[in-house]
Amino acid sequence: MSTPVKRAFKYRFYPTDAQAAELSRTFGCVRKVYNLALAARTEAWALRAERINYNATSAMLTAWKKTEGLAYLNEVSSVPLQQALRHLQSSFSHFFAKRARYPRFKSRKKSRRSAEYTTSAFRFRDGRLTLAKMAEPLDIVWSRPLPENAVPSTVTVSQDAAERWYVSLLVEDPGVRPLPVVDRVIGVDAGLDHLLTLSTGEKVTNPRYERRDRARLARAQRELSRKVKGDGANRAKARKKVARIHARIADRRRDHLHKLTTRLVRENQTIVIEDLTVRNMLKNGRLARAISDAAWREFRSLLEYKAAWCGREVITVDRWFPSSRLCSHCGTLQRSMPLSVRTWTCACGATHDRDVNAARNLLAAGLAVSACGAGVRPQRSTPGGQPAMKQEVSRREP
């Protein structure tokens, strides 16, 4: 019997004034402790070449609370402060494993406002959640039910830039289990004219949510730029208006990607995608806005974790694989293929839609991976000008 998947359920809630004040204090203390611990670890390494772990920073936290300048840390629950130190330890672990950059200090204005509570710092009974240091339960909008008899292991409270409050409950969900095996594989090519093109020939329209609200966003940003810094209420109101437009765009985009990835995972046993370097592609000034709006990285992230939940496989083809320039009918490699070329005819007589052809080539590369576990690299032309037929494909499973 498989181990139940831990899954986070996120809900909107509306705090009282007292609860909002308590949570705001907690957010500030979490940020302060994280920054103090990061500064201590950085200084210890720079001056003494000494690595400080979570246990050492936890002892430092106890000492900080006893000082006059940081005595206010005692006013909030200690659990979110300890969790901040654990998160910092995790960040350093990823850094030393070369999976992430060096941890950065949290900004009061730009960093995510959140606090994590473990079981000792909250009470969950009969659908009512009460956090430490609070007398009343949170007024949560239960937009969907939790799994039956679910008991949260951690609770994360956050506030976004639009000043909306959310609570996320991490529970074991026995309803998440592998889906029945289906005899279907598919190649997926990401694009801008169409968000996705499938090897079946289907094209998914790019909704371009940012472009739809671009005029409203520009107007709100102009209004914000006219507000004088220090003009508290008016500037805060204009900033909140801009944040709400951004939130509307992000919410609609995320909802669309969730529906799309869920459908792909349910209908296909194996999904082949391309390993796009979105960070580098964003350096293209002409296309950066459109690429950001397409959210290819978020699409891949959603697809991979859902595939892992449902027993599906995601195969990632090397970014240098010439999927657009390779004829899916005869294997001939074209020397060049400008982005303006949307359809082309091969020497063998086959006429290709650029995106459909790319999706079919990705599918063929993915099938080669499933068959022999090879690695895929771009084809190289032979001295006579003909492409070498050897194909290697790099495989990455969720």
Q: What is the pLDDT of residues 97-150, one digit of tens each?
A: 999 999 999 999 889 999 999 999 999 998 899 999 999 999 999 999 999 888
Q: Please, what sign has the CA dihedral across residues 280, 285, 287, 291?
A: positive
Of the residues 116, 189, 210, 318, which is catalytic? 189
Mean pLDDT in the chain?
A: 88
Question: What local confidence, expressed as pLDDT, does residue 54 receive?
Answer: 95
- Is 113:158 a contact under the CB 8 Å cutoff? yes
What is the bridge-based pairing of β-strands 128-131 and 5-13? unpaired
Q: 355 an active-site residue?
A: yes
Q: 298 an active-site residue?
A: no
Residue % of the chain over a pLDDT of 90: 66
* Start-to-end C-alpha separation, the chain: 21
Give residue 382's pLDDT band: very low, low, confident or very high (50, 70, 90).
very low
Q: Give the strand order in the sheet containing 270-274.
A: 203-205, 194-198, 185-190, 270-274, 313-317
Give residue 373's pLDDT band: very low, low, confident or very high (50, 70, 90).
low
Segment 240-253 shows an average pLDDT of 95
* Residue 263 structure tokens: 């459908």
Give residue 328's pLDDT band: very low, low, confident or very high (50, 70, 90).
confident
Q: 274 an active-site residue?
A: yes
pTM of structure:
0.84
Of the residues 116, 210, 274, 304, which is catalytic? 274
Range of lowest pLDDT (84-93, 197-206, 258-267, 351-360):
351-360
